[in-house]
Structures are given as C-alpha cells and as structure tokens.
Structure 1
Amino acid sequence: TAAIRKMIYTTNAVEGYHRQVRKITKTKGVFPTNHALYKLVYLAYRNIRKKWTMPLANWGQTAQQLAIKFGDRFKIM
C-alpha cells in the first residue's frame, strides 16, 4: 500500500548510513591497514547511531498494514 511504500522509500537507512560513512572515509587518503579502516568505520558508526533517534512517521498505520499483508510473519507488539 501507499503507506508501506512511502516508509520504505523515505527511510532508507542503508543509504543514509553509507552516505555518512562515505563522508568520513573520503577525506582520508590511504589506510595503512584494513584494521585502520575497520576502526574508523566502527567509530563513525558509534557517532551515527547517536543521531538516529527520530521515530518513523506514521509507523502505527504502516505496522497495521504490514500485519494485514504479512500476518504470519509480522506481529504487532
């Protein structure tokens, strides 16, 4: 339905996460080791996670529609 589609397209967390990690890593030239890159991405993740506090818009309506469409795989708490 429209509410489900809107939620998926407006809250693409993967793209948002990638954009923020890319913003941090693009300013660094070369990483001496893979471990250095992993550490930078982990530290970036910790900072990004703190900013993601906003709840999803219209989640109640969307959750109800998901429960109707995928009743056996989606449970409303």
Structure 2
Amino acid sequence: MAKLIALLNVIAWSGFWAFGYLALSSGSEAGSQTVVAILLAAVGGAAGLWAYFWLIRHSEVTGYAKPRNRAVINEEETA
C-alpha cells in the first residue's frame, strides 16, 4: 500500500507543477482553460500533500523514520 501511495504522491505533484505552470503561463484570452488548469493544479496539490503526510505517518509507525518530538498535554497540566 505504501508503494501505491508513493506513486500517487509523485503523479499528484507532477500534475500540480504541470497544470500550475499551464495556469500561470496561459494568456488572458484563455479564460476557461485557465480555470480548468487551476482546478487540476489544486487537486494535484491537495492529493500530493495528503499522500506526503500519509507517507510520513506511515514511516514513523513502521519505524523507518524516527518520530518527531511532539508536545503531549497531560490532564494535570490543564487544570
């Protein structure tokens, strides 16, 4: 499953950069094409971020990467 998510990560970021470039480089006369390129770039960016964060969590859980230092709030500290 992790390899499939990694493949999705690469494809999503590629789509983000490709369609983002198309959206930025399209002229003002290509209105609807620009909107479609912006939407596809946003979907690619969102999928890329989701896959990247999933891979980070997965690598921490499996022990491949060291878990990050996170603050843990105990109940006695909140009182």
* Range class of TM-score, shorter chain: 0.3 to 0.5
State TM-score, norm by structure 1. 0.33
Considering Cα pairs closer than 8 Å and 6+ residues apart, tell me whether 1 or 2 has the greater RCO.
1
Which structure has the highest helix share of the two? 2
- Taking structure 2 as the reference length, the TM-score comes to 0.33
